[in-house]
Structure 1
Amino acid sequence: MLYGAECWPTKRQHVQQLSVVEMRMLRWFCGHTRRDRVRNEAIRDRVGVAPIEEKLTQHRLRWFGHVQQRPPEAPVRSGVLERVVNIKRGRGRPKLTWDESVKRDLRIGISLKR
């Protein structure tokens, strides 16, 4: 389910859809249905699985570490870290980029450690 997830700029909607699918699979794995009214936390504790949002963050930050280790002239690094400055953008909210989602993950990781 998370193949290539380190390259996605995930929105809240994507995380919600992935968590719904994950819980559906975990319930099926445990033999429970929604009618059994077993809490998600109980199922996660029983199976021993971390929430999918944490796994997404770990994958993205691990990939970011690999990108940072590459030399500056590497295509993956120059494509990720360079920013076009003189471009006319459209109206509305700008699209979420991968590096913005990494910055968000780093902020969340720092605040969780405190």
Structure 2
Amino acid sequence: MELVDTMVRRKINIACVQETKWVGAKAKEIDGFKFYYTGVERNRNGVGIMVDKYLKDCVTSVVRKEDRIILVKLIIGENIINIVSAYAPQVGLDERCKKHFWDQMDELIQDIPIGEKLYIGGDFNGHVGKDCEDYDKVHGGSTSLYKKKVYS
């Protein structure tokens, strides 16, 4: 319900969500919006895509890749739009898990025809380094130097 409220207030049509922690490969109607999700294990991982009430009837297909990748395909007018929500493995997980995720992402992306639009939203667990020195405009940290530059 909070996500729907935020989407309405901020005028967002489609939202990609990670760490849903919901089990199943389902779709759920919430206040006229439609939430497509996939998750394998309760309280772990899971991704979803929330589509507003104006676009939910434009969804033509959903592709789920275990509990870390979901794609929703929409046809809006003459445009075919693919929305991907992804949740990459964290730093501490083994290389096999990371390779599996990237292989699945690559396979999914390669299957999208060239003429179709692609938008990817996700948590890719990227790391610039141990601190934000020299990355003050791109690193997610909140140092006093960063605050002074942005809010001065």
Q: Could you state the TM-score of these two structures normalised by the residue count of structure 2?
A: 0.22
Compare relative contact order (CA 8 Å, sep 6+) and give the higher one, 1 or 2.
1
Q: Could you state the TM-score of these two structures normalised by the residue count of structure 1?
A: 0.28
